[in-house]
Structure 1
Amino acid sequence: MKKFLVFLLIFLISLFLVACNQEEQETANDSSKKEETASETKSNETVYPLEVKIYDQDGNEYVQTFEKAPERVITNNPSSTEMLLELGLKDKIVGILEPDNKITGKYAEDFASLHSLGDKMKVSREVIVGQEPDIVVGRSMMFTDERLGTIQTLNDLGINVYTQTASHIKLNPKLTAVIDDVRTLGKIFNVNDRAEEYATELENRYQKIVDKVNNMKSDKKLTAITMVRFDSKTGTFSVFNSSEGLQRDLLDTLNLVPAVEGSVGDLTYESLISMNPDVIIYIKADRNAEFDKNAIETLYSEPLIQNVSAIKEKRIYETTYDDFMDYGTRIFDTLEMLANEIYGK
């Protein structure tokens, strides 16, 4: 009987020790998992101070140092505003410049609720500084003494600047520069997860169009002009510059080449016949509304130009200034639209 009790006691003690060991192991595993999760979370956090290289309109490099995520932001164009909205940063935007064109669609309500600082051609550096921003974000061409102040001037006043990589015309950015801007803004504002999600979405859209065009394009590039302000009464128009910068890469991605280099104004039907573009991309703008409303109808019906390739093949495609000429994610909407129109859905 005593032996039995001894064995029973030893057995119970063994069970207790095993149970304690299992509990300790589970606790250790849970701690390890928590540490791994914390590590993963931490790896997606921006480490400050953060240094970011930016460029002015002449291609000069500046280094911006961020000690923490900016809390007060001013944007100088619609595309930079829209990117910040997509990254969930609306509450940090303390001022925008008045858009050239009425904002419609998904961003309209947000834009209407943001504080406008006035016309981009009239807003002074003093107005910008008066808003006490931590950072000004947008198109590089706006950072001059005549407009918002140079990058150096703003830096000297304790204000950081982020110039959109996609807006550096002289550096001939690719469409993917827009995606780079999304990721960089994600780092600056410490919203890396959302930025990566959005950037990946844009990359997938872009690659889908690239694959489509590569599979369907001919060996010969089609010629294209980007037409603005067509006057149906006089038959005159202008061509916007699509021979450099982001817009050139958009055409190249679609296997298009500009029929004329640079911006050209006061062109006529004779000019259009001489250029003989395969594609006309007609760019609408609010300031040209009176001209735009009858433009495409007149082009298709004018007897003098019926042998122009774009007219004969019904290849006039309409877009808007902000969708084609700004430096943000709308460019991918335009890319998809044109790819579907030229190569079919």
Structure 2
Amino acid sequence: MAAAAGALILAGCGSDDGSGDDATEAASTSTAGSGEFEPVTVDNCGFEVTVDSPPERVVTIKSTSTEMMLALGLADRLVGTAFADGPVPDEYASDLDGVPVLSDNVPGQEALLDVEPDFVYGGWESNFGADTAGERPSLADFGITTYVSPAACQEPAYQPNPMTFDELFAEIHEVASFFGATEAADTLVAEQQALLDQVDAPGEGLTALWYSSGEDAPFVGGDIGAPAMMMRELGVENVFADVEASWSNVSWEQIIDRNPDVIILVDAAWNTADSKIERLTNNPATAALPAVAEERYLTLPFPAAEAGVRNAQAVVDLAAQLEELGL
């Protein structure tokens, strides 16, 4: 199993002559719920990340990274966002007032450099490439620190296997450490744990399919990613628990053969839950599945389907939907 979110390595407590202390303290104390900042170095998906002072100009790519910043009370550090998977929760909507959206997808390097970030937080490793926001070493040459959600690391040595809420909480603490926001992280993790404590495996004894997207080859939740993490909290058995991947393409024949008791549908603007239901009901083979015939569906928004601060609430919401089915 990968080490949770990478081991933190304290890199010292600053220079002896005190130069830069005032700026560092100001940057740290401007954050709600912050604690004392200490320089830190982490191994992030195999890339060394060193933060000597709290970043002040942050760009986030993907909803998971944007919402992590907002949940930690770090909206004031944002100078741009990109690649949103959907609207942020209502409680954070006003926090993004005045923050430019650099792109509906991954921003190009020119658009990224235009806002002069000192830190870029990506939800996927693929956000950092020569044909996207720029490769991580080249951005480092511009003085830009980069960080990828550890849940999205692709190398086996770094990929969480399986993803757990402890891994997610480790990311919360790790991100917070870059900004001296330790108290905010403690509060957020406690809130998330309190949500999980409300759920007592209501789906025990049931099987479930996590259907994310796909027509010819359905894209489903496997055994090691965020979907499996949430299904474990619900107590349901993943019908594709034998797939050692976060997500994977499978066949309709496999789904029919495994005959899930319930189907969890990811709702995205470009691939809605309703469109998936229509696909399932219009296909005579899947229409015969009891879960389809009896409309045993659970739904969650796409931004809650990837590892991030929405997952705990998603477990609560899915549990309530499951109980309403009365199975």
Query: Normalized against structure 1, the TM-score is what?
Result: 0.70
Q: Which is bigger in relative contact order (C-alpha 8 A, separation at least 6)?
A: 2
Residues 33-58 of structure 1: per-residue CA shift (max 9 Å, x gap)? xxxxxxxx9xx733432223311xxx
Instruction: Indicate if the aligned counterparts of 2:124 and 2:152 stay in contact, CA closer than 8 A.
Output: yes
Distance verdict in 2 for CA 1:295–1:47, change over 3 Å: closer
Aligned to 2:128: 143
Aligned to 2:310: 330
Distance verdict in 2 for CA 1:110–1:276, change over 3 Å: same
Distance verdict in 2 for CA 1:295–1:70, change over 3 Å: closer
Larger C-alpha radius of gyration, 1 or 2? 1
Higher helix share: 1
Q: Secondary structure at the match of 1:101?
A: coil
Confirm or deny that 1:131 pairs with 2:115.
Answer: yes
Query: Structure 2: where are the runs of 5+ without partners?
Result: 1-28
Q: Secondary structure at the match of 1:79?
A: helix
How much is the aligned-residue C-alpha RMSD, in angstroms?
A: 3.1
Instruction: Indicate if the aligned counterparts of 1:168 and 1:245 stay in contact, CA closer than 8 A.
Output: no
Residues 153-183 of structure 1: per-residue CA shift (max 9 Å, x gap)? 2223221122222333533331332222222
Aligned to 2:180: 190
Distance verdict in 2 for CA 1:161–1:306, change over 3 Å: closer
Q: Secondary structure at the match of 1:197?
A: helix
Confirm or deny that 1:48 pairs with 2:35.
Answer: no
Aligned to 2:81: 96
Confirm or deny that 1:171 pairs with 2:154.
Answer: no
Residue correspondences, number: 282
In structure 2, distance between residues paired with 1:124 and 1:301: 40
Instruction: Indicate if the aligned counterparts of 1:167 and 1:246 stay in contact, CA closer than 8 A.
Output: no
Aligned to 1:253: 233
In structure 2, distance between residues paired with 1:77 and 1:328: 11
**How far did 1:70 drift?**
0.9
Query: Normalized against structure 2, the TM-score is what?
Result: 0.74
Instruction: Indicate if the aligned counterparts of 1:136 and 1:162 stay in contact, CA closer than 8 A.
Output: yes
Aligned partner letter, 1:135:
F
Query: Structure 1: where are the runs of 5+ without partners?
Result: 1-40, 56-60, 231-235
Instruction: Indicate if the aligned counterparts of 2:211 and 2:219 stay in contact, CA closer than 8 A.
Output: yes
Distance verdict in 2 for CA 1:64–1:314, change over 3 Å: same
Instruction: Indicate if the aligned counterparts of 1:222 and 1:257 stay in contact, CA closer than 8 A.
Output: yes
In structure 1, distance between residues paired with 2:238 and 2:263: 10
In structure 2, distance between residues paired with 1:191 and 1:100: 26
Instruction: Indicate if the aligned counterparts of 2:85 and 2:302 stay in contact, CA closer than 8 A.
Output: no
Residues 293-315 of structure 1: per-residue CA shift (max 9 Å, x gap)? 46537756987656524235542
Residues 264-323 of structure 1: per-residue CA shift (max 9 Å, x gap)? 37x55x66533311110111211135xx44653775698765652423554211222112
Instruction: Indicate if the aligned counterparts of 1:103 and 1:111 stay in contact, CA closer than 8 A.
Output: no
Aligned to 2:223: 243
In structure 2, distance between residues paired with 1:65 and 1:298: 48
Confirm or deny that 1:296 pairs with 2:277.
Answer: yes
Instruction: Indicate if the aligned counterparts of 1:226 and 1:242 stay in contact, CA closer than 8 A.
Output: no
Aligned to 1:282: 265
Distance verdict in 2 for CA 1:299–1:127, change over 3 Å: closer
Q: Secondary structure at the match of 1:336?
A: helix
Percent of aligned pairs sharing the same letter: 24
Aligned to 1:68: 53
Instruction: Indicate if the aligned counterparts of 1:224 and 1:258 stay in contact, CA closer than 8 A.
Output: yes
